[in-house]
Each structure stands twice: as structure tokens, then as C-alpha cells.
Amino acid sequence: MAVKPFTTTFRADGVRVLFWEGVTENDTCAPVILMGLEGAVGDLQAVGTFGSASVALQGSNDQATYAALNDQNGDAIALSAEGAADFSTAMLQIRPHPTGGSSQDLDLYLCLREGR
């Protein structure tokens, strides 16, 4: 699996927007280290071709073992069509994680509002 890097498309006053381009089912998205002392609230948005796949949002405190992150309703985030999901977390790092399917071609945006 290729590690897909992200680019920062916006940064100002505790807000960052990160972008992974052309993510497929064979990619691992590079994790984002959260900067704030109070955790972060954010939104994961996915656009493109899903090819029967889904995109989860995961977090890790040990930088090796990842767990599913939940949306504001307490449900594990797993987008299987174009859309977005809000979340809050205090994990050390987070990453989108493509799973299943074939012929996936997604652009992923992660907007973070990090506490100071």
C-alpha cells in the first residue's frame, strides 16, 4: 500500500484544511498530528468515485494502532457515498482510511478546528 501524503490547503487562527488527492483502496492516508491542547473538532468530506468502498476516520494515541472515530451521533464514521461527517476527538493523530471496494478514486478533505 502506498502512503498518500496530504497537503494543507488552508491555515489560519486554529483552522486547518488538509487534502488527500486521488485516494484508492490500495492507499494508506498519511496521519495528521493534532496541534491543540484541547483536542479538535472537525469534518471529513469525501468526493469522487467510491467503487463500493467506504472511507472511515481513525485515530491513534500510540502512532501504530488505530481505532474508529465516531460522528456527533456516536456512530462510527464510514462514508460510502459523497458527503461529510462532523466529529470531535482528543486523539494524538487521525487519518482517513479507505476500505473495501475496487476502482476507488477519492479526494478527501479534513477541516480541523484545534483548541489552543
CA distances to 15, 23, 67 from 62, rounded to whole Å, are: 24, 24, 11
Please give the pLDDT value at position 88: 95
Domains of the chain with CATH codes = 2-114 (2.60.120.10)
In DSSP terms, which residues pair with 57 in a beta bridge?
96
Q: How far apart are CA 74 and CA 72, in angstroms?
A: 6
Structure pTM? 0.93
**pLDDT one digit per residue (tens) for the chain, 116 residues:** 689 999 999 999 889 999 999 999 999 999 999 987 788 999 999 999 999 889 999 999 999 999 999 999 999 999 999 999 999 999 999 999 999 888 899 999 999 998 76
Q: Give me 64's grid cell.
A: 501504530
